[in-house]
Amino acid sequence: MATTGIPFIDSLTVNNQATQSLRELLWKEGIKYGALAQTVNMEFGIKDGEYIAWLGDMEPVGLPSIGCGVEWQASKIPANEKRWTLGRYDVAEQLCYTDLENTVAKWSRNTGTDIANLTDTDYMEIVVEPRLKKAMQEMLWRLIWFGDLSASNISSGGKITNAINPELFKINDGLFKRIYALTTAGESRRVTIGANAATTYAAQRTAIEQAGVAKAIFDKIIDDAPIELAQKEGKVLLSTYALAQALRKDIRNTHCCNESAWNMMFSGYPNVMSIEYNGHKVIALPEWDKMIQAFENTGTKYNDPYRVVYAGKDSLLAGFESSSELPYLETWFERKDQLNYILAKDCLGTNTMNEENIVFAY
């Protein structure tokens, strides 16, 4: 059998001079996944098939007076409803102590009769559990934004990188799939980003960094948005990191000025993760970029590497069956088969509301 983490830990040299404490290892720092709650409204305790309903504004009222009489109205209040469709996922890992025998992790095992029990060892606490939790955070970003029940590889006519297992996306339909469909149907507004159509990585980047291009994209998104969205307090302007960087460079190169003026226009400089442009907070999401590059990569170009979603956060919904976004991670040792197990389960899904107030640039 294969133990969780072994391909990684097995690459370290084992000899008398090797690191004998896993706590001495230096860990490569990967992308830090931000809080999903900054991009979507998260709903907990949701059941599959449960309805979500909302009311609109009352239709216009007030007619000319007809004197002693009154012309009575029966003004309508529009309402709409949708149903949640949740998909269940399992995170299930198993570990066997003998798989650690020829790795540096063997120094972290217990001894004697307890040698098979890894649950209270440094290997579990320092290597496996922290990285499993991070992998689960990445899983939530993948499913909530990139999930697709009909996902398939590029070689089969889909969007998923050929080396990636499309089953990783088939828990639920994510928000990108929903918003692509909404803009295609005309229910949400689209802003076209021409650079996405370029046929190579280099050409895509060159096109987006042309003078005035990135600024024009954001101007059109903001200027053409519905007035209800412009007035909304809880709106979000979410961007791929690459496009936010292009905006920063565009303003810097074509419209600025001195350092004080630059800082007034771009209050987040040099931290492009959260910047302000034209009175709007732009949240750059490197999580999107990483997943586009890994999961929607033809080998010569990326699928829509430049994307912006402008919407009320309450229009972008993620629903969870459990009471938190990451379920309880259960770890135990089974004495009968001498194996260690890690298990987590939950159901999740996405939904959209007030689709006419969503703007998607791609």
Residue 353 lies in a domain: yes
Residue 153 lies in a domain: yes
pLDDT of 316 over the 70 cut: yes
Q: What is the pLDDT of residues 245-266, one digit of tens each?
A: 999 888 888 765 555 555 545 5
Cα 137 from chain centre: 9
Residue 21 lies in a domain: no
Contact 164, 190 (CB under 8 A): no
Residue 135 lies in a domain: yes
The predicted model gives 121-140 an average pLDDT of 90
User: What is the total count of domains within the chain?
Assistant: 1
Residue 203 lies in a domain: yes
Residue 17 lies in a domain: no
* Residue 263 pLDDT: 56
- DSSP reduced 3-state for 278: coil
- ∠ CA 278-245-359, nearest 5°, is 55
User: What mean pLDDT, rounded, does the chain reach?
Assistant: 87
Residue 276 lies in a domain: yes
Instruction: Determine which helix (DSSP H) or strand (DSSP E) holds 311, and give its type and residue range.
Output: strand 308-312
Would you state the structure tokens that stand for residue 9, as one six-digit string?
A: 């830990």
Residue 25 lies in a domain: no
Rounded to 10 deg, the angle between the 241-254 and 213-223 helix axes is 110
**Domain ranges, residue 306:** 82-361
| Phi-psi category of residue 167: left, alpha or beta, with phi > 0 → left and psi -120 to 50 → alpha | alpha
Identify the bridge partners of residue 249 per DSSP, sorted by sequence position: none
Distance CA 324, CA 317 (A): 14
pTM: predicted TM-score of the whole model, two decimal places: 0.85
